[in-house]
Amino acid sequence: MASPTGTTLPINSLINQPSSNPPLAQSPAQQLGPQAFLQLLTTELENQDPTQPQDPTQSVTQLAQFAALQSQVQLASEFGSFQSSYGVLQAATLIGKHVTVTTPDAFGNSSTVTGTVATIAVQNGRPYFTMNGNNGQPITGSDGQPLLFSTQQIVGIGS
């Protein structure tokens, strides 16, 4: 990336600027994310003369940084997928089990509901389940539709 004087600045000088002050907590909007990093790297590589680099190791270092970032993004994505699959698998083991869940009411108070797990549904990668009451009928909301409960609402599991 060219500075106002026309010289090329290494990307490390943009990311790791030394400071005499202790680092402050940054909000997510202030942090350099993968897209911003890639944009900076791409701009710098586009404006760099490969036959006369500023530092002979700079291009190799930047490519290594890019490869490391790409690996981290892929790993995070795959781990998120694994977590989702594992959560669904765990929820599936609840089918037929008697569970107790906490539910908030319209006034912010919580109460418990007990029933038998009937079905598992996945929404946005997270497992939810429906329950049947003691009468064998689905536990429904005020609209008559079966209520979906999160596995995080469970406070007790029976057989």
Q: Quote the pLDDT of residue 32.
A: 64
**Which amino acid makes up residue 142?**
S
* pLDDT tens per residue, range 123-146: 888 899 999 998 999 999 889 999
Please report, for the domain that includes residue 131, its CATH number. Answer: 2.30.30
Name the nearest CA neighbour of 154 among 102, 117, 79, 115: 102
Q: Quote the pLDDT of residue 139.
A: 92
| Same domain membership, residue 128 and residue 70 | no
Residue 115, judged by CB atoms within 10 A of its CB (0-12, 13-18, 19+), counts as buried
For 83, the domain range is: 1-13+32-46+56-92
Asked if residue 140 belongs to a domain, the reply is yes
Q: Which residue has the higher pLDDT, 55 or 89?
A: 89
Asked if residue 23 belongs to a domain, the reply is no
Q: How far apart are CA 8 and CA 48, in angstroms?
A: 8
